[in-house]
Amino acid sequence: MGAPGEFNLAALARYGNDFLAEVEERVEEGEWVKMCMQCGVCAGSCPFGPDWEHSPQKIFMMIRAGKRDEVLASDSMWMCTSCYNCVVRCPRKLPITQIMHGLAAYAHRLGLAPKMQPTRRWSLLFWDNCTKTGRVNELKLTLGLYFMDGIVAGFKQAWTLRNIGLGMLLAKRLNPFELIRGHECKDKAGIHRMLKKAAEIEARKRGFAKP
């Protein structure tokens, strides 16, 4: 978990540059936020448009307005499907998808992201899964997702979707033996060392506490 460090959160002035400066320093592609010209094309281009509370346009304006708590607690960033429609349409060429991911990651790092947000948990599960062996273990990933809310919920979910699982199995696209021994990289240890180093460098660069 990162510490807010030198940022004076108590004195956040509305429409001042404080929170924007924090975002610029700590969020991936955060330096682009100030370049938004508030046209709203992103909002109209998002496939999950009806489902979030704050469009990217609003998120950017909230950052400029210094609404730190609302932004970091928003579940809107977590609604990003990574379709990049907003990115290619943005007249100012903002990497909106990456900013949404960056904001979500930052909110998660600070522990301010909504705890039960399913995509937050799914995202963590995925990274954990793929970095464990260097490759995704699809069966464990799926089961991990089903059982995210506990044993009972997991079996219920698996039962609901049993036909899908069975179908995939029959189509030889789901390997039951993955539970025991799945795909993996040979140099797992090297990958782990490499990722540990990368996390250290990133924390150093962005001023986070050491991972």
Partner 1 sequence: MADPKYAAYVCKGCGIGERIDADQSAKIAEKEGKIALVRQHEFLCNAEGVALIRSDIEKEGVTHVAIAACSRRAKTEAFEFPGVALARANLREGVIWVRPDTAEARETTQEMADDYVRMACAELKKMKVPAGNPETGRSKRILVVGGGVSGLTAAVEARNTGYEVVLVEKQAQLGGWAAKLWKRIPEREPHAAPVDTGVQALIDAVTQDAGIRVYTNATLAQTSGAPGRFKASIAVESGSTATEEVGAIVQATGFSLYDMNRLPELGAGKSPNVMDQAGLESLARKAAPKGLPIRRPSDGGEVKRVVFVQCAGQRDDTGKHLPYCSGYCCNTSIKQAMYFKDANPAVDTVVIYTDLRVPGNGEDFYRSAQKKGVTFTKGSVTGVEASGDTCRVSFRDLILDEDASIEAADLVVLATGQVANAGVDIDNPQATDANGTKPISILNLDYRQGKDLPKLSHGFADSHFICFPYETRRTGIYAAGPVRRPMDIAQAKEDATGAVLKAIQAAENAELGRAAHPRSGDLSFPIVQLEGCTQCKRCTVECPFGAIDEDEKTYPVFNESRCRRCGTCMGACPVRVISFENYSVDSVGAQIKAVDIPDEFSEKPRILVLACENDAYPALDMAGMQRNHYSAFVRVIPVRCLGSVNTSWIIDALNGGYDGVMMMGCKHGDDYQCHFVKGSELANSRMSKISETLKTMALETERVATYEVAITDIKRLPVLIGDYAKVIEKIGLSPMKGFA
Partner 2 sequence: MAKKEYAFYPGCSSQLRGSASNYLTSVNTMCETLDVKMTPIPDWNCCGASISYAGAGELSRHVMNARNFALSETHLPGQDVVATCAACWLGAKETKQKLDASSQLMAETNEALKEAGLQYQGRTEVRHMVEVLIEDIGYEGMAQPVVKPLEGVKIAGYVGCQTNRPFGIAGESFENPLYLDKLVETLGAEPLTKYEQKVTCCGGALAFSEPEKSQKQIKDIVESAYDHGADVIVTPCPLCQANVEIYQSEINRRHGTKLDMPVVYYSQLMAVAYGATPKAAGLDGHIIKPKKLQEIAVKVVPVDLDQRTRRPRGENH
**71-110 positions binding partner 2, by CB under 8 A:** 79, 81-85, 87-89, 95, 97, 101-102, 104-105, 108
- Does residue 73 interact with partner 1 by CB under 8 A? no
| CA distance readout (Å), 43 to 50, 52, 56, 60 | 9, 10, 6, 11
CB of 45 to partner 1, least distance (A): 17
Tokens for 183? 């795909």
The one among 153, 167, 179, 209 contacting partner 2 by CB under 8 A:
167
Question: In whole angstroms, how close is the CB of 107 to partner 1 at the nearest point?
Answer: 19
| Cα 44 to Cα 188: distance, rounded to the nearest angstrom | 43
- 144: its two tokens: 């991990």
Q: List binders of partner 2 among 24-43 (CB under 8 A).
A: 28
> What CA–CA distance (Å, rounded) separates 81 from 119?
10
Alpha-helical (H) ranges within the chain are 18-26, 41-45, 56-64, 68-73, 85-89, 96-109, 118-133, 138-146, 151-160, 162-170, 188-206
Residues of the shown chain interacting with partner 1 in the complex, contacts defined by CB under 8 A: 13-17, 20, 34-35, 37-38, 57-58, 61-62, 64-65, 92
What does the binding site for partner 2 look like in residue numbers (CB under 8 A)? 28, 47-48, 51, 79, 81-85, 87-89, 95, 97, 101-102, 104-105, 108, 113, 118-124, 126-128, 130-131, 134-136, 138, 142, 145, 161, 163-164, 167-168, 170-175, 178, 183, 185-187, 190-191, 193-199, 201-202, 205
